[in-house]
Amino acid sequence: MDDCYNDGIVRLIQLYQIGEISERERHELEEWCRQKKENRQFFERVCRERLFAEERPVYNKINDKKALRVFERKVGQVPRRIGTWWKYVAILIFVISIAGVWMWGYDEGEEPLVVASSVGEIHPGSSQAVLILDDGQKVVLKDREEGEILAGKGVKATREKDMLVYMPMDAKRENPVRFNELEIPRGGEYKVILADGTVVYLNSATRLKYPVVFNGKERKVYLSGEAYFEVMKDSAERPFLVEVGGIEVKVYGTSFNISSCSDGDVRTVLVHGKVSVRVLGSTEENMIKPGQMAEYNRKEQSVDVKEVDVALYTDWKDGIFRFENQRLEDILTTLSNWYDVDIFYQTPSVKDLHFSGYMERYKEIDTILKAITLSTDVQFTIRGRTIVVSK
C-alpha cells in the first residue's frame, strides 16, 4: 500500500473531511478509490477514525497561510521540494492525526510503515507508582490493583485501579506530622486523593511528599516534577501550599498545574480559582488569574506572569500531548519520560527545530516520530530503548 501514501492523496482526504474539497478534487479522490480495493478500504478507515470527527472544528479554524508564515519566521523557509500541503504538515496539527490513522488502521496481515528500525518493547506509559511510608517501607502500586493499604499508624488508604485514596481522619487524633511519598517513575502516571479531599494527578518522573492527615494551620505538600491539583476548599485560615523548586504556591481552592523543568525553572498555570507564587526567602507574592502562568526563573530568582493557553499545560492529564512552537529537544524529553526511553542526538542541530501539534498519549511512539519525519528531514532509529535522532 506504499503507493497510496503520498501528499496528494492525504491532502484530498483532509479536504474531504473538512468539507472544502472541490468538484475536480472530489472526482480525483473517487477515481483513486476505484483503482484498488485497498485504496477504498484505506479511505473508509480514515473516514471512520474518531479523531477526524472530533477535530473537524479545529481544522476549520486553521489559517494555513498565517500558520505557514509563523512557521517560516521561526525556523526558516520551507524547502520548495515539499508539496503545498506538506508545508502545513510542518506545524503537525494535522499530520499527527493522519499519521495516526495510517499507522493504526491496518488490517491483520498488512505490514505497517515505521520510521524506526524496531519499535520493540517501547510502549506508552501506564498507571504505576511507588508509595514510600513514614517508616521507609515501600509499596509498589500498579494499574488496576485494588485493596486497602495501611499507610501509617492508624492511617488507611485504598487502591482504586489507577488511584490511591486516603481516608478522612480526625486531625486532632494525629499529633506528630507523618508523611507519605508517591514516586512516579518514567513511563508512569498516578492519581492520589489526599486526606482533605484534594485530588492530585501526577505525571511521569514526579515525586510528591504529603502529610497523611492535615492537622495544622496549613496544608503543605512538596513536589518535584509535574502535577495537576484540584484543591479542596477549606477555610481562609488553612491555605493549601505547594513547595517546588525554590518557590511556594499558595491556594485556597482551585485547579492548577505545576511543572518543574530540567533547568530548574518552575511553571505554575492557573485553570480557575486564586493562586499566589512566592520565591522562598522572599515576602513578595505574585498573584495570577485564571488563564495565566507564573514562570519562575531560577537563575534570575524572578517570577514572570503572562497569559497562556492553559490546555497546552494541562491536557496531559486527559491523555493528550499538546505542543505549541516547542523545540524538538523539549518534545523528545517529554516523550522520553512518558515512554521511558533515552534520546541520543547524532545531529545536535535538530534540537532547535520547532513544532506545534497534538496526539493521544496512549498511542505508540512511532506515530509522532513518523509525523516529524514526514514534515522534516529528521530521522529516528530505535536501538533497544534508545532513540537515535539524525538528519
d(CA 148, CA 168): 14
333 part of a folded domain: no
DSSP string for residues in 49-74 = -HHHHHHHHHHHH--HHHHHHHHHHH
109 and 158: one domain?
no
What's the pLDDT at 50?
Answer: 40
pLDDT-derived band at 47 (thresholds 50, 70, 90) equals low
Residue 249 in contact with residue 258, Cβ under 8 Å?
Answer: yes
What's the pLDDT at 174?
Answer: 52
What's the pLDDT at 359?
Answer: 80
170 and 91: one domain?
no
What's the pLDDT at 271?
Answer: 94
d(CA 287, CA 221): 20
Average the pLDDT over 257-262 and give the result.
88
83 part of a folded domain: yes
31 and 107: one domain?
yes
Which of 249, 279, 313 is where one domain is finished? 313
d(CA 383, CA 350): 19
- pLDDT (tens digit per residue) in 226-255: 999 999 887 667 889 999 999 999 987 799
pLDDT, averaged across the chain = 77
Residue 5 has pLDDT above 70, yes or no: no
Residue 153 has pLDDT above 80, yes or no: no
Residue 225 in contact with residue 202, Cβ under 8 Å?
Answer: yes
Residue 293 has pLDDT above 80, yes or no: yes
Query: What count of residues does the chain have?
Result: 391
147 part of a folded domain: yes
CATH number of the domain residue 278 falls in = 2.60.120.1440
Residue 31 has pLDDT above 90, yes or no: no
What's the pLDDT at 368?
Answer: 82
What's the pLDDT at 298?
Answer: 87
Residue 86 has pLDDT above 80, yes or no: no
What's the pLDDT at 91?
Answer: 37
What's the pLDDT at 238?
Answer: 83
Residue whose C-alpha cell is 532547535? 352
What's the pLDDT at 16?
Answer: 72
131 and 94: one domain?
no
Residue 154 has pLDDT above 90, yes or no: no
Residue 165 in contact with residue 157, Cβ under 8 Å?
Answer: yes
343 part of a folded domain: no
Query: Higher pLDDT residue, 63 or 363?
Result: 363
115 and 130: one domain?
no
Residue type, 225: G
pLDDT-derived band at 103 (thresholds 50, 70, 90) equals very low
Residue 179 has pLDDT above 80, yes or no: yes
Helix (H) or strand (E) holding 359: strand 354-360
| Cell matching residue 165 | 485514596
Q: How many domains does the chain have?
A: 2
155 and 242: one domain?
yes
222 part of a folded domain: yes
Residues 6+ apart with CB under 8 A from 333: 262, 343
118 and 130: one domain?
no
170 and 253: one domain?
yes
Query: Higher pLDDT residue, 153 or 5?
Result: 153
| Range name among 36-45, 166-175, 292-301, 323-332 with the lowest pLDDT average | 166-175
166 part of a folded domain: yes
What's the pLDDT at 107?
Answer: 34
31 part of a folded domain: yes
Residue 211 has pLDDT above 60, yes or no: yes
Residue 128 has pLDDT above 70, yes or no: yes
Of the chain, the percentage scoring pLDDT greater than 70 comes to 74
pLDDT-derived band at 108 (thresholds 50, 70, 90) equals very low
44 part of a folded domain: yes
Which of 259, 285, 313 is where one domain is finished? 313
- Residue 93, domain extent: 1-122+357-391
Phi, psi torsion values for 30, nearest 5 degrees = -65, -40
Which of 313, 331, 366 is where one domain is finished? 313
144 and 256: one domain?
yes
Query: Higher pLDDT residue, 151 or 381?
Result: 381
116 and 241: one domain?
no
What's the pLDDT at 89?
Answer: 40
What's the pLDDT at 46?
Answer: 66
The count of other CB atoms within 10 Å of the CB of residue 164 is 23
What's the pLDDT at 48?
Answer: 55
Vertex 162: Cα angle to 156 and 167 (nearest 5): 20
Average the pLDDT over 46-71 and give the result.
48
168 and 67: one domain?
no
Q: Which range has the top average pLDDT, 13-17, 86-90, 327-331? A: 327-331
Average the pLDDT over 28-41 and give the result.
81
d(CA 230, CA 232): 7
| Range name among 13-17, 63-67, 139-143, 348-352 with the lowest pLDDT average | 63-67
Average the pLDDT over 364-369 and give the result.
84
98 and 147: one domain?
no
Average the pLDDT over 149-167 and give the result.
83
Strand partners, 278: 248, 285
pLDDT-derived band at 57 (thresholds 50, 70, 90) equals very low
